[in-house]
């Protein structure tokens, strides 16, 4: 029994002499750690950044972070101001269109209109007459277009005063003159008469075929002609009688006379006899009592009749 106990004690002692496995690392892990630590001497010459270098690096990082955070805000500004820019450009374009848009002035039927131009020149417009000019008139040019009949009192100026009327050009620098040119004139004629000064009168684009009209002379151009008629003496009282509300026509076709009645009195006159439209008449009325009395005289001389309608008159 004693021997057995000794043997047991001897086994216990041998067991206690063995090292205890108290660390989880295995031999392979310990070897790796040793290998790394053995090379630590290689890092002893490595220069760590100083305090100032570290601060500079942090500042640079901070600036980059702020820039990134401001990008959406900058994008918002760009988007917002781009809309303002588009609106401003649209406004400028609208103003330019409005600025260069021609100005039209028309004398209503039954009335005579007076107009003072930007350069100080004066115009009297017969009933139904229209003039057109741009908004730079008197600044870069003194050019206007006419359809109808008008009296001009032109102020002197360095820039020529030009009237364009249905394929003709009347050019002056300072004078008083009359232009009559209706687009619906059956004879398609333009008439110019001068009271004072002088004008050049020629077909548009053919200034080499001009005629020079001086005070007291007139000329007429017919569509298709290469040159206006040679100057002839003018009866200014008859030519400008409309300014005093006279009704004057000289060797005019009936179709044209009735159109003049429409414009002067603001009524409609339908000429149903087409053959009579080309017959010519001459008449002089210092004062017209009524449109009915005027039509009665014209129809009596021309062998026609007239009757009132809901819209005006019919001539047959």
- pLDDT bracket for residue 2 (50, 70, 90): very low
Please provide the average confidence, as pLDDT, over all residues in the chain: 81
> Tell me, what's the pLDDT at 17?
46
Instruction: Give the percent of the chain with pLDDT over 90.
Output: 58
Tell me, yes or no, whether 260 lies in a domain. Answer: yes
According to the model, what pLDDT value does residue 188 have?
81
Tell me which residue of 215, 210, 242 sits closest to 226, measured CA to CA. Answer: 210
Say whether pLDDT at 20 is over 60: no
Question: Domain check: are 111 and 189 in the same one?
Answer: yes
| Residue-level pLDDT at 5 | 41
Q: The dihedral of CA 27, 32, 35, 41: what is its sign? A: negative
Mark whether 144 and 268 lie in a shared domain: no
| β-sheet bridge partners, residue 99 | none
pLDDT of residue 89: 74
250 and 227 in a common domain: no
Query: Mean pLDDT throughout 41-51?
Result: 54
Domain co-membership, 225 together with 306: no
Q: Quick one: pLDDT at residue 210?
A: 95
- Residue 41 maps to a domain: no
Domain CATH code at residue 101? 2.60.120.1440
Residue 63 banded pLDDT, cuts 50, 70, 90:
low
pLDDT band at 85 (very low <50, low <70, confident <90, very high): confident
Given 209, 224, 240, the domain boundary residue is 240
Residues 14-51 as b or e (16 or more Cβ within 10 Å = b): eeeeeeeeeeeeeeeeeeeeeeeeeeeeeeeeeeeeee
Q: Judge if 116 and 189 occupy the same domain.
A: yes
In a domain, 303, yes or no: yes
Residues 107 and 198 in one domain: yes
* 33 occurs within a structural domain: no
Interaxial angle between packed helices 291-302 and 254-265, expressed in degrees from 0 to 180 and rounded to the nearest 10: 170
- 184-205 pLDDT, tens digit per residue, is 876 789 999 999 999 999 999 9
Examine the domain organization and report whether 98 and 181 are in the same domain. yes
160 shares its domain with 291: no
214 and 286, same domain (yes or no)? no
Question: Does residue 236 share a domain with residue 112?
Answer: yes
Residue 213 within any structural domain of the chain:
yes
Is there a single domain that holds both residue 106 and residue 227?
yes
Closest to 179 in 3D by CA, of 171, 187, 41, 93:
171
pLDDT in tens, 266-284: 999 999 988 899 899 999 9
The whole-number pLDDT of residue 239 equals 93
DSSP 3-state of 56: helix
Whether residue 266 sits in one domain with residue 235: no
Write phi, then psi, for 302 (nearest 5 degrees): -85, -5
What's the average model confidence in pLDDT over 288-312?
Answer: 94
When mean pLDDT is compared across 19-23, 80-84, 117-121, 143-147, the lowest value belongs to 19-23
Any domain includes 77: no
Q: What is the mean pLDDT of residues 91-114?
A: 81
Each residue's pLDDT tens digit, 235-254: 998 899 999 999 999 888 89
For the residues 40-63, what does the mean pLDDT come to? 58
Number of domains forming the structure of the chain: 2
Whether 60 shows a pLDDT value over 80: the answer reads no
Residue 278 forms part of a structural domain: yes
141-172 tens-digit pLDDT: 999 999 999 999 999 988 999 999 999 999 99
184 found inside a domain: yes
Question: Which residue range is the domain that position 99 belongs to?
Answer: 94-240
- Pick the last residue of a domain from 240, 272, 291: 240
Confidence of residue 92 (pLDDT cuts 50, 70, 90): confident
């Amino acid at each position: 029994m004693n021997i057995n106990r000794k043997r047991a004690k001897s086994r216990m002692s041998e067991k206690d002499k063995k090292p205890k496995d108290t660390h989880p690392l295995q031999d392979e892990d310990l070897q790796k750690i040793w290998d790394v630590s053995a090379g630590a001497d290689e890092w002893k010459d490595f220069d760590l950044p100083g305090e100032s270098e570290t601060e500079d690096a942090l500042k640079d990082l901070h600036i980059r972070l702020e820039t990134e955070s401001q990008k959406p805000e900058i994008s918002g500004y760009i988007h917002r101001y781009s809309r303002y820019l588009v609106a401003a450009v649209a406004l400028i374009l609208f103003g330019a269109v409005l600025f260069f848009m021609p100005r039209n002035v028309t004398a209503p039927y039954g009335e005579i209109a007076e107009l003072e131009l930007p350069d100080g020149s004066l115009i009297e417009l017969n009933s139904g007459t229209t003039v057109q000019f741009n908004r730079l008139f008197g600044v870069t040019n003194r050019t206007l277009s006419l359809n109808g009949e008008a009296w001009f009192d032109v102020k002197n100026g360095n820039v020529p005063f030009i009237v364009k009327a249905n394929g003709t050009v009347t050019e002056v620098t300072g004078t008083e003159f009359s232009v009559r040119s209706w687009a619906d004139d059956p004879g398609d004629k333009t008439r110019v008469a001068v009271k004072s000064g002088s004008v050049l009168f020629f077909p548009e684009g053919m200034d080499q075929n001009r005629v020079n009209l001086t005070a007291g002379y007139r000329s007429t151009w017919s569509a298709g002609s290469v040159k206006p008629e040679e100057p002839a003496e003018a009866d200014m009282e008859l030519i400008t009688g409309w300014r005093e509300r006279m009704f004057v026509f000289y060797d005019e076709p009936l179709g044209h006379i009735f159109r003049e009645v429409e414009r002067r009195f603001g009524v409609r006159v339908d000429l149903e006899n087409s053959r009579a439209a080309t017959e010519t008449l001459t008449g002089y009325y210092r004062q017209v009592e009524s449109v009915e009395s005027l039509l009665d005289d014209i129809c009596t001389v021309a062998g026609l009749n007239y009757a009132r309608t809901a819209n005006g008159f019919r001539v047959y």
